[in-house]
């Protein structure tokens, strides 16, 4: 049996910690693990499967002998280092946005478009967290009924902005309850000028603004969803629009998804049945027992939870859904490791 040397690029962040966990629990036969980070973190020690692993500086040469790279150290790091890793024969699964929209880079959610994995040239991109859980929910609907339009409003957790944003959010929460001034230095987005408190507030800005007034997060949801669903689900005219809002929740994104199907005769029972058999989906939809997806319940789980399924009675073939998933697991670390598992199972860990 082939075994694999796996490198984790950016192992110390909110996603990185979970990449380690998910890799420990995975079916991948790991012969050795390499932890790569910036010079500042090199020399520190982390534990993988109860063994100490010393963090090395992420240089091009550090990828010598590596089979699989799981990358989550920021877009600029991926851009600089992943081509070097590929040159050395490694297959890279990138959790940043660096390569997602490159035409020859597969953008993969294993439950949705696993066939794209066969076409990789060394780099496979992991979609944005808010995109992943939405396309998992859309897949069974696309397959059975076709998709015409998707209108999504997100309720995104603080951890999506990283561990430091999550820490800041908790500090703000305690300050508010103590009637002290809330400090804001990171959220809504590190890369922008002004910072606002998220605790007990709503911030309708995730990532920076584009010229058309959409944020880059909204842009990602629109264009990544199209890349995934249009190519693979044959919904070549799928329309998508998005409003992304950061909410005072630590982990797990919520999404209010309005979907117009091509099949205008689909009933709410049809949609319920389709979602109920969807891969990676757990239905939580029982109004009479107040059962519906909640972030606190989704935290730590790999699934995408779907509920509040309702027909828009005035628009045949249109439905409202409520979708929740752990943004650090299915939205990031688990989707990345799941891609690696599929590559291993399909004997696809080699650069063509």
The catalytic residue positions are: 129, 253
The stretch near a second copy (CB under 8 A) out of 133-141, 284-292, 329-337, 340-348 is 284-292
Q: Considering only CA atoms, which of 263, 262, 224, 252 is closest in space to residue 240? A: 224
DSSP string, 167-188: HHHHHHHHHHHTTPPPP-SSSS
Minimum gap (Å) between residue 161 Cβ and a second copy: 15
Cα–Cα distance between 165 and 51 in angstroms, integer?
30
CA 75 to CA 55: how far, in whole Å?
A: 20
> H or E stretch including 320?
strand 318-325
The binder of a second copy chosen from 25, 181, 183, 202 (CB under 8 A): 202
Cβ atoms of 242 and 213 within 8 Å: the answer is no
Comparison of 42 and 101: residue with beta carbon closer to a second copy: 101
Helices assigned H by DSSP within 216-288: 216-233, 268-276
Q: Quick check: helix, strand or coil at residue 148?
A: strand
Contacts of residue 324, Cβ cutoff 8 Å, sequence gap at least 6: 133, 252, 253, 254, 255, 293, 294, 295, 297, 298, 304, 305
Radius of gyration of the chain (CA): 20
Under rule CB under 8 A, residue 292 binds a second copy: yes
* By the rule CB under 8 A, 162 interacts with a second copy: no
14: annotated binding-site residue?
yes
Q: How many residues bind a second copy (CB under 8 A)?
A: 60
In this structure, the chain runs to a length of 352
**Binding of residue 181 to a second copy (CB under 8 A):** no
Q: Is 316 in the site for a second copy (CB under 8 A)?
A: no
163 binds a second copy (CB under 8 A): no
Q: How far is the CB of 251 from a second copy (least distance, A)?
A: 9
The answer to whether the annotation marks 74 as part of a ligand binding site is no
Residue from 40, 65, 287, 300 that binds a second copy (CB under 8 A)?
A: 287
Say whether residue 151 binds a second copy (CB under 8 A): yes
Q: Tell me: does residue 106 bind a second copy (CB under 8 A).
A: no
Does 15 carry a binding-site annotation? yes
CA 182, CA 46: separation in Å to the nearest integer? 33
Question: Which residue among 45, 103, 191, 194 contacts a second copy (CB under 8 A)?
Answer: 194
For 244: left if phi > 0, alpha if psi spans -120 to 50, otherwise beta; the answer is beta
Phi, psi of 300 (to 5 degrees): 85, 0
Range 252-281, binding a second copy (CB under 8 A): 254, 256, 258, 268
Stretch that binds a second copy, among 34-42, 59-67, 88-96, 305-313 (CB under 8 A): 305-313
Q: Which is nearer to a second copy, 46 or 324 (CB)?
A: 324
Assess contact for 304 and 334: CB atoms under 8 A.
no
Q: Summarize as ranges the residues that interact with a second copy (CB under 8 A).
A: 149, 151, 153, 155, 170, 173-174, 177, 188, 192-194, 196-197, 200-205, 209, 212-214, 239-241, 243, 245, 247-250, 254, 256, 258, 268, 285, 287-290, 292-296, 307-315, 318, 320, 322, 324
Binding positions? 12-15, 100, 156, 159-160, 246, 327
Summarize the annotated binding site for substrate as residue ranges: 156, 246
């Amino acid at each position: 049996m082939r075994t694999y040397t796996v490198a984790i690029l950016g192992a110390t962040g909110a996603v990185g910690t979970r990449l380690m966990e998910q890799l420990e629990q995975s079916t991948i036969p790991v012969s050795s693990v390499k932890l790569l980070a910036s010079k500042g973190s090199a020399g520190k020690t982390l534990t993988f499967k109860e063994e100490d692993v010393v963090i090395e500086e992420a240089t091009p040469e550090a990828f010598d002998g590596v089979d699989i790279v799981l990358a989550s150290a920021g877009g600029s790091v991926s851009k600089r280092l992943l081509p070097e890793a590929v040159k050395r024969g490694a297959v890279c699964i990138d959790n940043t946005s660096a390569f997602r929209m490159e035409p020859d880079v597969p953008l993969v959610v294993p439950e949705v478009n696993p066939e794209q994995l066969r076409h990789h040239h060394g780099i496979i991109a992991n979609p944005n967290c808010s995109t992943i859980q939405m396309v998992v929910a859309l897949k069974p609907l696309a397959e059975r009924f076709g998709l015409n339009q998707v209108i999504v409003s997100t309720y995104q957790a603080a951890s999506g902005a990283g561990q430091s944003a999550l820490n800041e959010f908790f500090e703000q929460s305690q300050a508010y309850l103590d009637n002290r001034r809330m400090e804001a230095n990171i959220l809504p987005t590190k890369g922008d000028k002004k910072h606002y408190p998220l605790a007990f507030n709503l911030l309708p800005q995730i990532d920076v603004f584009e010229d058309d007034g959409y944020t880059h997060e909204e842009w990602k949801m629109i264009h990544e969803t199209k890349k995934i669903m249009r190519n693979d689900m044959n919904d070549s005219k799928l329309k998508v629009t998005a409003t992304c809002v950061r909410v005072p929740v630590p982990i797990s994104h919520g999404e209010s998804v309005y979907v117009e199907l091509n099949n205008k005769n689909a009933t709410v029972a049809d949609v319920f049945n389709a979602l109920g058999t969807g891969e990676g989906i757990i239905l939580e939809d029982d109004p009479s027992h107040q059962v519906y997806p909640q972030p606190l319940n989704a935290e730590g789980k790999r699934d995408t939870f779907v509920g509040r399924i309702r027909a828009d009675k005035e628009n045949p073939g249109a439905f409202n859904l409520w979708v929740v998933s752990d943004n650090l697991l299915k939205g990031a670390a688990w989707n990345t490791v799941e891609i690696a598992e599929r590559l291993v199972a399909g004997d696809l860990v080699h650069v063509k």
